Structure formats: structure tokens, C-alpha cells
């Protein structure tokens, strides 16, 4: 990667490149999702203390996905990465009901950010492989997603661990980018 590659991924991207920001609370499964997208080994993932960037090809697009650490102390720094974002992916641990309120609040704050205004948002209701996972419909209701009117949005249930639902979500991302770039 190196600093220079970060600069190259930072600049406003050409048409066929898409900048995707992957956010969500710590332990939501962002890095697992990123590695699943890049078909990498997901057996040893530790809390992200900074960020990871990976590029994946999908439907003629080069998706540059920025996975940003979600721990509370580093959430104020999410803002570092907002510039030139084409799509926001917000990852929720569907089995961690205790934190639904916290994750809803963080999402609401993100949607209020000026630099992310109008940016399509995909919400991954992750960890559906767990028996205790709440269904996507319940999360959508709890987070009042239906009140989002200033952008296109989608909620997709998935398991980053098994890969189920991940591709469906990414298909939606490509579709929404296509619609926007036209």
C-alpha cells in the first residue's frame, strides 16, 4: 500500500472507480466483510486500530473500499475519510441488541454530515449466521430507516463469515453508483 498509494486512492476517482466507506461500531464485522470481498483469509482478524483499504473488481467497477476502525475513541476520526465518498456501507452486528441504540445514533450522525449528504447508504445487517441475530426488518424499524428521504438506501441481511448476502449488497452498491454516474 504505502503512503503514495493512499494518495492515489484519495484523489477524486475516474468514472470506473468507486470509493466506498465502510463504517460501523467496533466488532461489527467490517474487516471480515472487507476480506470476504477480497477473497482473503478471515480466520485471524483483530480490532482495527486504523484503517484497511482494498480494491475489488465488480461489474466493471473498481471498488476502493476503506474499512475504518470502529472503536469509540477513534470514531471521531471517521471524518478524516469522508472526502469523495461515492457510497457508504454501514455494518451492524445484528446479534448485539444491547448496542442497537448506540449504532443507530452513530448512523444518524453520519447521515447528518455535510460531506456525506446525498451519498447512497447500504446497511449490512451482519452476523445473520448467529441464532440470536435480529432480522433486517426489525433493525430497519428500530433504526427508523424509513425516515431517510435525502438519499437512496438499502438494508441487506448478510453474514460476512459465510459470505451469504454480501454479493447481493454489493450488487445494490454498483446499481446505485451506476444510477448516480449517469
Partner 1 sequence: MRLKRLLIRYYPPGIILEYVKGGELRNKSIDLLDLNPETDTEKLIREIQESEPLITESRTDQMRLLLRTLQEKLAKQDDRRFHQFKALQAHILPLTNVAFNKSGSSFITGSYDRTCRIWDTASGEELRTLEGHRNVVYAITFNNPYGDKIATGSFDKTCRLWSVETGKCFHTFRGHTAEIVCLAFNPQSSLVATGSMDTTAKLWDVQTGEEVATLTGHAAEVISLAFNTVGDQLVTGSFDHTVALWDVPSGRRLHTLIGHRGEISSVQFNWDCSRILTGSMDRSSRVWDSASGQCLATLSGHEDEVLDVCFDCTGQLIATASADGTAKVFSAATHECIAKLVGHEGEISKVCFNPQGSRVLTASVDKTARLWDVQSGVCVQVLMGHTDEIFSCAFNYEGDAIITGSKDNTCRIWR
List active site positions: 71
How is residue 175 written as a grid cell? 446499481
29 marked ligand binding residue: yes
Find out whether 17 and 61 touch, Cβ atoms under 8 Å.
Answer: yes
Of 10, 38, 130, 152, the residue at the interface with partner 1 (CB under 8 A) is 10
State how far the Cα of 156 lies from the Cα of 136, in Å rounded to an integer.
Answer: 7
Q: At 49, is the secondary structure helix, strand, or coil?
A: coil
Q: Name which of residues 39 to 58 contact partner 1 (CB under 8 A).
A: 49-51
Build a one-symbol-per-residue string for 59-98: x at contacts with partner 1 by CB under 8 A, - elsewhere. Answer: ----------x---xx--x-xx--x---------------
CB of 45 to partner 1, least distance (A): 13
107 marked ligand binding residue: no
Give backbone dihedrals phi and psi of 2, rounded to 5 degrees, phi first: 75, 160
Build a one-symbol-per-residue string for 104-143: x at contacts with partner 1 by CB under 8 A, - elsewhere. Answer: ----------------------------------------
CB of 158 to partner 1, least distance (A): 27
Told to check if 2 binds partner 1 by CB under 8 A, we report: yes
User: Angle at which helices 30-37 and 166-181 pack, to 10 degrees?
Assistant: 80
The set of residues, in sequence order, having a beta carbon less than 8 Å from that of 168 and lying 6+ positions away, is: 156, 158
Please identify, using beta-carbon distances, which residue of 77 and 168 lies nearer to partner 1: 77
The set of residues, in sequence order, having a beta carbon less than 8 Å from that of 158 and lying 6+ positions away, is: 33, 124, 125, 126, 128, 164, 165, 166, 168, 169
State how far the Cα of 137 lies from the Cα of 103, in Å rounded to an integer.
Answer: 16
CB of 83 to partner 1, least distance (A): 8
- Summarize as ranges the residues that interact with partner 1 (CB under 8 A): 1-4, 7-8, 10-11, 49-51, 69, 73-74, 77, 79-80, 83
Please report, in range form, the residues annotated as the binding site.
24-31, 48, 70, 126-129
Please report, in range form, the residues annotated as the binding site for Mg(2+).
31, 48
Amino acid at each position: 500500500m504505502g503512503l503514495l498509494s493512499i494518495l492515489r486512492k484519495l484523489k477524486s476517482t475516474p468514472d470506473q472507480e468507486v470509493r466506498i466507506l465502510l463504517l460501523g461500531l467496533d466488532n461489527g464485522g467490517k474487516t471480515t466483510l472487507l476480506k470476504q470481498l477480497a477473497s482473503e483469509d478471515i480466520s485471524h482478524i483483530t480490532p482495527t486500530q486504523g484503517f484497511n483499504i482494498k480494491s475489488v473488481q465488480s461489474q466493471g467497477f473498481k471498488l476502493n473500499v476503506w474499512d475504518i476502525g470502529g472503536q469509540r475513541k477513534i470514531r471521531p476520526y471517521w471524518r478524516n475519510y469522508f472526502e469523495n465518498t461515492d457510497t457508504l456501507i454501514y455494518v451492524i452486528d445484528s446479534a448485539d441488541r444491547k448496542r442497537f441504540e448506540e449504532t443507530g445514533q452513530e448512523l444518524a450522525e453520519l447521515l447528518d454530515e455535510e460531506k456525506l449528504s446525498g451519498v447512497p447508504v447500504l446497511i449490512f445487517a451482519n452476523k445473520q449466521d448467529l441464532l440470536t441475530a435480529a432480522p433486517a426488518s426489525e433493525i430497519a424499524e428500530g433504526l427508523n430507516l424509513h425516515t431517510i428521504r435525502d438519499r437512496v438506501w438499502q438494508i441487506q441481511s448478510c453474514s460476512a463469515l459465510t459470505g451469504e448476502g454480501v454479493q447481493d449488497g454489493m450488487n445494490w452498491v454498483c446499481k446505485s453508483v451506476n444510477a448516480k454516474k449517469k
